[in-house]
Amino acid sequence: MILLPCPWCGPRDAGEFRYVGESASRPDPRTTDPATWRDYLYFRDNPLGWATETWYHRAGCRRYLRMERHTETNEVRSSRQAGASPASPASPASPAGGNR
Ligand SMILES: [Zn+2]
């Protein structure tokens, strides 16, 4: 069993989560060229090692998380609210979305 840390729910089984994808900054579609937009939509780095990814806790708090996960060992070294900066830890007292 693989446990993933949710900032709000604590360590939970990986089956409760949905993998969303590697974190990548979204280019502005109005100003970017087609090749850059295509790369953003279809190409992934797929690294062997540490990767920053977005996950969705679908069977828990139903929030999006940003995790740093080792793709070979599944070790997780950080987990925070998606969209939060690495310096600011997730704050369970300030819900993202807030529609629960
Ligand atoms: Zn959760």
Q: 20 CA to middle of ligand 1, Å?
A: 15
Which two three-digit tokens encode residue 95?
């819900």
Distance 36 CA to ligand 1 centre (A): 33
What integer is the mean pLDDT of 75-81? 95
Ligand 1 ion: residues within 5 Å (CB):
6, 8-9, 57, 60-61
Kindly report, residue by residue over 27-55, the tens digit of the pLDDT.
999 999 999 999 999 999 899 999 999 99
Whether pTM > 0.85 for this model: the answer is no
CB 33 within 8 A of CB 10: no
The pLDDT of residue 85 is 67
**Comparison of pLDDT for 100 and 66, the residue scoring more:** 66
Residue 67 parent element (H or E): strand 64-70
Q: Which of 3-7, 30-34, 85-89, 90-94 has the lowest mean pLDDT?
A: 90-94
